[in-house]
Structure 1
Amino acid sequence: MDVRFYEKPGCVTNKRQKALLIAAGHAVEARDLLAEPWTAGRLMAFFGALPPHQWFNRAAPAIKSGEVDPDGLDHATAMALLLADPLLIRRPLIEAGDWRCTGFDLAALDQAIGLPSVAPEGPLEGCAHGESVRVCPTPA
């Protein structure tokens, strides 16, 4: 199946996620999440019925620093923050046909598009650089 995968270029966790999709036989088209011209309507297609606090990348610098606290935000405020700073968007954003999601939920992905029975080593959600790194390295 053709899968469009919105990622932060250079993210080690996103690389593992793409490898798992490819191992399952999917054709992965990677796109730069940070360069995409997002609109509220387009993002909502990925978030579905999730509450706003689940739309956020908890490893984003603005969240780790305490500048942004996603808990308790209403839809409009949360969306305005995401559109202003795409680093805040929980990634990856994945679309395959009419199906879309945010994050890398193995069970949901397996049910929707199919995954191999063996997952690659390492985390498949969150920052692979750990808590000591405040900002993931960006490729030159």
Structure 2
Amino acid sequence: MTITMYGITNCDTIKKARVWLESRDVPYRFHDYRTEGIEAGKLNGWVGEVGWEKLLNKGSTTFRELPEADRQGLDENKAKALMLAKPTMIKRPVLEVGDQILVGFKPDVYEGAVGK
């Protein structure tokens, strides 16, 4: 089973999730939004799976620094455009475990998904 973690390296939640996986010898690949960005097709798949409301991190510094007009009237298309333009607005981490998408870090959910 292939596991990929998406996020940014300096995020505290990413650090916790990485420590959790590594302490259980769970192999994974890390995809850094800052250096690798995010493909539209990948984001569209996630939105279809979990919804844009779960993926868009309205509490992020990047989102809060947007002009008021950009934060108002959010819908799926506007949210996807914002996340593609500034992937740091995507909640972290996003973990792909085979066909499953996990958003955020919850040890009990990770435990069930990776079985370690």
Percent sequence identity is 28
Unaligned runs of 5+ in 1: 116-140
Which residue, out of 71, 75, 86, partners 1:69? Answer: 71
Most deviating of 96-105 and 10-19: 96-105
Q: Cα gap change, 1:114/1:44 in structure 2, threshold over 3 Å: closer, same or farther?
A: farther
Shift of 1:107: 3.8
Where do residues 1-140 of structure 1 align in structure 2 (5 Å cutoff)?
2-65=2-65, 67=67, 68-69=70-71, 73-115=74-116
TM-score, normalization by structure 1:
0.65
RMSD (CA atoms): 2.5
For residues 111 and 89 of structure 1, the distance between their equivalents in structure 2, rounded to whole angstroms, comes to: 23
TM-score normalized with structure 2 length: 0.76
Letter in 1 for 2:85: A
Q: Post-superposition shift, 1:11? A: 2.1
Which structure: greater helix fraction?
2
CA contact (8 A) 1:47 1:102 kept: no
Instruction: Give the C-alpha shift of residue 27 in structure 1.
Output: 0.8
SS in 1 for 2:34: coil
- CA deviation vs aligned residue, 1:60-110 (integer Å, no higher than 9, x gap): 22333463538x621111101111111111111211222223222334322
CA distance change for structure 1 residues 114 and 61 in 2, over 3 Å: closer, same or farther?
same
CA distance in 2, matches of 1:25, 1:84: 34
SS at match of 2:91: coil
> How far apart, CA to CA, are the structure 1 residues paired with 2:11 and 2:37?
20
Q: Number of matched residues?
A: 114
Superimposed CA distance per residue, residues 113-137 of structure 1 (whole angstroms, 9 cap, x where no aligned partner): 235xxxxxxxxxxxxxxxxxxxxxx
